[in-house]
Homo-oligomer: A and B are copies of this chain.
């Protein structure tokens, strides 16, 4: 079951007028204003003509609690009944927090994150995706940052699926190279987190995951060269959505340790989310080589077409291919590429995990703070 209606294709933004209740009080939310220069804002406003619409702009990358609380005030005071998120994963994740917080009855909405309160029902919202990457447009998860405490925490629940999401691949043409590279890396790593574990004879699930990886590898050079290549953009957009809409995680073990560690790097250094994943993943797969080598080799054979060598050799070559792939996008894969101030990072992250009450990371839930220490050190 996935309740989000996907409206995919050229010129589909105008369709949102049919998806929002006519009598809705709409809050349109977006980020830093790039939608005003690329024409998406105008398309959305045209589609919303006749609706009662308020606006809230300025939701930043890594959506911040303090800023979102400003939007929450408007939602409550203006009795907003429907939200429209126009943006990438940050705007959509921010709107998911607002969807939950608008109906939350406790005193302090931050508790939704710290107490892992599942959202069964949220204020309804739709999205117009402007940046393929996170998959947030077709799932019920969200990650919110609190600057004052350097925290980055997740929330979710069945009430947080968008009612609809418009995916018009034409938006890709105005995305800067850096964001394109981030989007490809983010989606690629989302698949790896749900795939690079151990074999359990989930043949179809494995193959669908590999299909997304193969497609991203195939379209990456086309997208980086020419983001106006519509067919490549459509495959890019659909791959990002399918990478994290719940499908490929069904019935299989999942890891997510790369994200857990990566989030800390964003919180500490402000490194782009996708880039933190490219920094952590290679060391993580090397460190956990023994438990992951069968899947690493399967990935090497099927995604990278490495046919010669032992399981171990193919698995090792597959990690190298992954690093090369990130480099081909212009994504650096070492922490020292991003900051000179990296000494002590592993200790600090390991310590943070300890303090939070350790539950174990990875598909076996066995990675302890001592392992995190080693993995993060391998990223220097």
**Which A residues form the contact surface with B (CB < 8 A)?**
1-6, 8-9, 200-205, 207-208, 210-212, 214-215, 218-219, 231-232, 234-235, 238-239, 242, 247, 250-251
Contacts and interface: CB of A to CB of B under 8 A. Distances in A.
23 contacts: A1-B3, A1-B4, A1-B5, A1-B6, A6-B250, A8-B250, A9-B251, A201-B231, A201-B235, A202-B234, A203-B219, A203-B235, A204-B211, A204-B212, A204-B215, A204-B235, A204-B238, A207-B210, A207-B211, A208-B208, A211-B211, A234-B251, A247-B247
A235 B199 CA distance: 14
Contact of A235 (B6, B202, B211): B202
Contacts of A3: 1, 3
Q: Which has the most chain B C-beta neighbours within 10 Å: A2, A6, A234?
A: A234
Given A2-B1, A4-B1, A207 B203 contact: no
Nearest to A9: B251
B6 A204 contact: no
A251 B235 CA distance: 11
Nearest to A164: B1
Contacts of A214: 203, 207
A215 B235 contact: no
Q: How many copies does the complex hold?
A: 2
Contacts of A251: 8-9, 234, 238
A239 B204 contact: yes
Contacts of A208: 208, 211
Given A1-B4, A1-B5, A208-B211, A218 B242 contact: no
A6 B1 CA distance: 7
A187 B210 CA distance: 21
A6 to B, nearest CB: 7
Contacts of A250: 6, 8
A204 B242 contact: yes
Contacts of A239: 204
- Which 7 A/B pairs are nearest by Cβ-Cβ distance? A207-B211, A201-B231, A1-B5, A204-B215, A203-B215, A203-B235, A208-B211
A251 B238 CA distance: 10
A183 to B, nearest CB: 15
A210 B250 CA distance: 19
A235 B251 CA distance: 11
A3 B208 CA distance: 21
A242 B219 CA distance: 24
A158 to B, nearest CB: 10
Nearest to A7: B1
A112 to B, nearest CB: 25
A212 B204 CA distance: 6
A152 to B, nearest CB: 30
Nearest to A216: B204
A47 to B, nearest CB: 20
A169 to B, nearest CB: 10
A231 B234 CA distance: 34
